[in-house]
Amino acid sequence: MDKSLITVTSPLLPDLDDFHAMLKEIWAGKWITNNGSFHKRLEKELAAYLKVPFISLFTNGTLPLITALQALRITGEVITTPYSFVATTHALWWNGITPVFVDIDPSTGNMDPDKIEAAITPRTTAIMPVHVYGKPCDTVRIQEIADKYGLKVIYDAAHAFGVEVNGESILNAGDMSTLSFHATKVYNTIEGGALVMHDEQTKKRIDYLKNFALPMR
Ligand SMILES: Cc1ncc(COP(=O)(O)O)c(C=O)c1O
């Protein structure tokens, strides 16, 4: 590698021999698509490590955002933040939802809860904040506002792998949270992502629809 190159980040990679041994197992089993044994093991071990009840794996961190919106049947307008990777807004736009931007608190980089209520209209159905750089949003305030107006909350937690507040995983806040396992993230699968949900019924529904590629609505 060119030593004069200053990289923004460098991915954590496993020992190549360990990785090769796992590949050998996959080659032997010839199960290289949905729900193989490594897939199931990763879901189980990640859920335990992240202290969340249920998790569903995806091929990146954008698809769980799109899927969460569909699974919760979100329509109309969604309040989100302009300070994020473009996938947050793309997921709304690709679902035919109008993104409504609420400015950030400059001290955290996260959506400013004081500005949310002014952005709510009769068409608002959800709030989609981002835990920017893994710094937790004010989930208590956001939930209070969501409950007051009957809104769903989906957290884009792409940067928030393993983040806890008072011993509780930040991924348990809101209705669902999404993760990215892209090579630039704290934990990576080269490309990958996940959706975190609170109940088994929702996990079953998402896994079924995801694997059989049926429309979610
Ligand atoms: C805040 C945020 N949301 C969503 C994504 C999308 O994740 P992916 O690139 O894995 O699709 C990213 C990726 O950088 C991100 O930073």
Q: How confident is the model over 153-174, as pLDDT tens digits? A: 999 999 999 999 999 999 999 9
In tens, the pLDDT along 42-68 reads: 999 999 999 999 999 999 999 999 999
What does the pLDDT read at residue 152? 98
Name residue 27's amino acid.
W
86-113 exposure pattern, b = at least 16 Cβ within 10 A, e = fewer? ebbbebbeebebebbebebeeebbbbbb
Q: What are phi and psi of 198, to 5 degrees?
A: -95, -20
Decide whether any atom of ligand 1 lies within 6 Å of the 193 Cβ.
Answer: yes
Strand partners, 100: 79
Q: Ligand 1 pocket check: which of 85, 88, 104 to mutate, most ligand atoms within 8 Å of Cβ?
A: 85
- Cα of 27 from ligand 1 centre, angstroms: 30
pLDDT interval class at 6 (50, 70, 90): confident
Strand partners, 101: 80
Find the largest Cα–Cα distance for the chain.
Answer: 58
Q: In the chain, what percentage of residues exceed pLDDT 90? A: 87
- Record the pTM: 0.95
56-213 — its CATH code?
3.40.640.10
CB 143 within 8 A of CB 118: no
Sign of the alpha-carbon torsion through 205, 136, 134, 93: positive
